[in-house]
Amino acid sequence: MTTNDPKDIEKILVSLSPKSVPPGLKGRVLESALKKRQGLLMTPRTWAAAAACAALMAIAVLGDTAVTKVQNNDLRAFLNGTSVSRLTGEEPGPLSEEVCEEIGDVEKAGLERIILTRPGTRSASLRDIFEARKRLKGWLDHEDESTESPD
Amino acid sequence: MNLEELYGRYGENLFRYLVFKLGSAEDAEDVLQEIFCRFARFTMRWALIRNPQAFVFRVARNEVNRFLRRKLSRPEGDAGPLDRTSSFSASLAIPADATALLIAELADRLPEEQKEVIFMKVFDGLTFKEIGTACGVSANTAASRYRYALARLRAALEETR
Domain spans of chain B?
Answer: 3-160
Give, in order, the Cα–Cα distances in Å from B117 to each of A147, B56, B87: 102, 16, 13
A4 and B151 within 8 Å at the Cβ level: the answer is no
A44 and B158 within 8 Å at the Cβ level: the answer is no
CB under 8 Å to B41, separation ≥6 — which residues?
Answer: A37, A40
B92 and A26 within 8 Å at the Cβ level: the answer is no
Q: Is the pLDDT of residue A54 over 70?
A: yes
Q: Is the pLDDT of residue A1 over 50?
A: no
Closest CA–CA distance from residue A4 to any residue of chain B (Å): 7
CB under 8 Å to A20, separation ≥6 — which residues?
Answer: B93
Please answer whether residues A15 and B93 qualify as being in contact, where contact means their C-beta atoms are separated by less than 8 angstroms: no
Which residues in chain B show pLDDT less than 50? 79, 81
Contacts of A17 in chain B (CB under 8 A): 92-93, 95
Please determine, looking at this structure, whether the domain spanning B3-160 carries the CATH number 1.10.10.10: yes
Which amino acid would we find at residue B107?
Answer: A
CA pair distance B35, A60, nearest whole angstrom: 40
Contacts 24+ apart (CB under 8 A), A63-66: none
Mean pLDDT in residue range A58-84:
85
Q: Which of A2, A4, A21 to mutate to test the interface with B (most CBs of B within 10 A)?
A: A21
Chain CA centroid to CA B124, Å: 9
Q: What angle do CA B24, B28, B29 make, to 5 degrees?
A: 120
pLDDT band at A60 (very low <50, low <70, confident <90, very high): very high
Give the dihedral sign, CA B17/B18/B20/B24.
Answer: negative
Put simply, whether A138 touches B (Cβ < 8 Å) is no
* Predicted local confidence at residue A119, as pLDDT: 56
A33 and B39 within 8 Å at the Cβ level: the answer is yes
Average model confidence (pLDDT) across chain A: 72
A9 and B91 within 8 Å at the Cβ level: the answer is no
* Sequence ranges of the domains in chain A: 45-91, 93-151
A and B: number of Cβ contacts within 8 A: 96
Greater confidence (A96 vs A140) lies with A140
pLDDT band at A117 (very low <50, low <70, confident <90, very high): low
Closest CA–CA distance from residue B123 to any residue of chain A (Å): 7
Would the ipTM clear 0.90, i.e. be above it?
no
Integer Rg of chain A from CA: 42
Closest CA–CA distance from residue A9 to any residue of chain B (Å): 7
A44 and B95 within 8 Å at the Cβ level: the answer is no
In sequence order, what DSSP letters do the residues of B81-144 get, joined into one string?
A: GGGPPP-HHHHBPPPSSHHHHHHHHHHHTS-HHHHHHHHHHHTS---HHHHHHHHTS-HHHHHH
* Predicted local confidence at residue B6, as pLDDT: 86
Contacts of B23 in chain A (CB under 8 A): none
pLDDT digits (tens, 9 = 90+) for B149-160: 999 888 888 887
Put simply, whether A33 touches B (Cβ < 8 Å) is yes
Q: Is the pLDDT of residue A11 over 70?
A: yes
